[in-house]
Amino acid sequence: MATQPNAGRVGAQRRIETSADAQPAGRVGAQRRIETSTDLDTGSTPSAPTRSAEAGSTPSAPTRSAEAGSTPSSPTRSAEPVPARSAAGGVSRRGLLGLLGAGAAGAAVGAASATGITMAATSAMAGTGSGGGAASAYPFFGAHQAGIVTPAQDRLHFAAFDVASTLDRTGLIELLTEWTDAAARLTQGLEVEEGGAVGGSDYAPPADTGEALGLPASGLTITFGFGPGLFTDASGADRFGLAARRPAALESLPRFQGDALQPERSGGDLCIQACADDPQVAVHAIRNLSRIAFGRATLRWSQLGFGRTSSTSTAQATPRNLFGFKDGTANLKAEDGSALDDHVWVQSADGPAWLAGGSFLVARRIRMIIENWDRVQLGEQEQLVGRSKGEGAPLSGGTEFTEPDFEATGATGTPLIDTKAHVRLAHHSSNGGARMLRRGYNFVDGNDELGRLDAGLFFLSYQRSPEQFIAVQRSLAADGLNEYLKHVGSAIFAVPAGVREGEYVGQALFA
Ligand code: HEM
């Protein structure tokens, strides 16, 4: 029988017994003991843009050129709802879900089936960016991790962690197990533990921080990734016996032209992407998962995103980035079927076997120099992007979803889509067929000392191989937009396949 090596841990439920006794100081949550160490080894469419008058812009502007249905509870936990109470005296998150009838859930299933995603429950289908409604809950368990092809939610909290130098393989597995158990609950609108916020001992810190009490699941998805440092650290040490299992392509991205990367905004051994339609729900998830990791992994950097810059389902309207352009038009989407196998999901033959069904995640914090951009003439902005600002149509003609014609020329014989236009250089025809699923977010983190907004695009992309991102980013060295961009953060992670009930995320890596 092993005891937990770290004080200050919360959230472990699977095969971990709980006593109701008061805690020693410094210990968070209910006191637990792990039964055996071998046990651990097993183990709404958004509203349309309001600036509709823009929709009629002409395509060329030469004259202006200046996973499914699983239950959230872990097997050994009671599936009984906690009393429907909240700190505010209202209905708890769990209570709210319990109140939803099978009919509502069934309607949600039908609405979501086009994306291959089943919603466990919903009460309001309209009014949010992801299309799921505030009370929608996506299954945590499934073939692929949620949060990749899930219709992009409106809000993001992303966190990268460094694992503690004292952590060993068993401790890492324990952490992933506890994260899995907590994520399975949080994504269903539950607290980290039953009664976690206000139902525990008066003499112990609550096991759940409580700020999501009374809030619904809000489409929360929690997606975990493993950075290169998990396999070998900076000194080359194989801390967890994983070095031989590192995917060959999982290494820090090469330096790209114009990179101004800040180490404190880059890298990480582990990452968690929390997306939701309510920022408080996303922040609650990262906060509680960070708390669970206490003593075992520390936050290295984190990023809030306040608005999605992609659509990952054809049911979603295309949102806008902070340059004011529609972003996500030509994205890979949940409905793209075999294209996802070709471009997003790691296939068995790709190796290593443990990553099959997973993906590679690239994160780039891209600062936009929006004060300079805001002085650029509309026609030039459109030439730089290669699409009209209103409709988002390619400058070669048509409407938003018309394929761009890069051969089309205007009266003077010059290409309608400039040779340095972003969409030309990013298009798969310029990159040996490389495509990716983009899932980025707008951010504004205050301002700098010069009074400029610290604003930009937190770019996230999922791809079958990092080579896809590398090819496109190299091609973008000639991008006219670069004058208004600065890449200040960069990270890459291997995102394991989805979790089966009774397992922990990434379990195949440790098998
Ligand atoms: C702040 C930086 C960026 C901005 C403002 C931006 C903006 C845009 C816009 C407005 C579009 C056209 C609409 C669409 O199809 O989504 C687009 C397309 C695209 N972008 Fe970006 N982007 C940025 C960075 C990147 C990066 C770093 C990559 C990858 C290395 C990338 C890859 C793509 C791809 C693959 C397309 C689709 C091209 C097509 O097939 O037509 N973008 N981007």
Looking at residue 123, its pLDDT comes to 30
End-to-end CA distance of the chain: 21
Q: How far apart are CA 147 and CA 150, in angstroms?
A: 5
Q: Which residues pair with 302 in a beta bridge?
A: 159
Rg (CA), the chain: 23
For ligand 1, say whether the CB of 328 is within 6 Å of any of its atoms: yes
Peptide bond into 352 cis (omega under 30): yes
Closest-CA residue to 262 (of 342, 366, 339): 366
User: How many Å lie between the centroid of ligand 1 and the Cα of residue 101?
Assistant: 41
**DSSP letter string over 295-354?**
TTEEEEEEEEE-EE---SSTTSPP-B-TTS-B--TT---GGGTHHHHHHTSPPGGGS-GG
Q: How far apart are CA 299 and CA 283, in angstroms?
A: 13
Ligand 1 pocket test, candidate residues 257, 369, 423, most atoms within 8 A of CB = 423
Ligand 1 pocket test, candidate residues 326, 366, 438, most atoms within 8 A of CB = 438
User: How many Å lie between the centroid of ligand 1 and the Cα of residue 59?
Assistant: 18
Q: How far apart are CA 26 and CA 424, in angstroms?
A: 56
For ligand 1, say whether the CB of 325 is within 6 Å of any of its atoms: yes
β-strand 297-305 against 485-495: which pairing, if any? unpaired
For ligand 1, say whether the CB of 458 is within 6 Å of any of its atoms: no
Q: How far apart are CA 495 and CA 460, in angstroms?
A: 13
Q: How far apart are CA 475 and CA 469, in angstroms?
A: 10
Looking at residue 133, its pLDDT comes to 57
User: How many Å lie between the centroid of ligand 1 and the Cα of residue 397?
Assistant: 18
In this structure, are residues 467 and 249 in contact, taking their beta carbons and an 8 Å threshold?
A: yes
Instruction: Return the SS3 of 428.
Output: helix
pTM of the prediction?
Answer: 0.80
Closest-CA residue to 478 (of 414, 409, 431, 410): 431
Looking at residue 307, its pLDDT comes to 97
Task: Centre a 10 Å sphere on the Cβ of residue 347 and count the other Cβ atoms it contains.
Answer: 12
Supply the residue whose CA is at minimum distance from atom 11 of ligand 1. Answer: 327
| Mean pLDDT, the chain cut into blocks of 10 residues (511 residues total) | 34 34 32 30 31 33 34 32 31 34 33 38 35 75 98 98 97 98 98 96 97 97 98 95 98 97 98 98 98 98 98 97 98 96 98 97 98 98 98 98 98 97 98 98 96 97 98 98 98 98 98 95
For ligand 1, say whether the CB of 457 is within 6 Å of any of its atoms: yes
**DSSP letter string over 246-286?**
S-TT-SPPPP-TT----GGGS--SEEEEEEESSHHHHHHHH
Looking at residue 31, its pLDDT comes to 32
- Nearest-atom number in ligand 1 for the CA of 456 is 1
Instruction: Return the SS3 of 156.
Output: strand
For ligand 1, say whether the CB of 281 is within 6 Å of any of its atoms: no
Residue 205 tokens, joined:
């810190």
User: How many Å lie between the centroid of ligand 1 and the Cα of residue 148?
Assistant: 17
Looking at residue 132, its pLDDT comes to 54
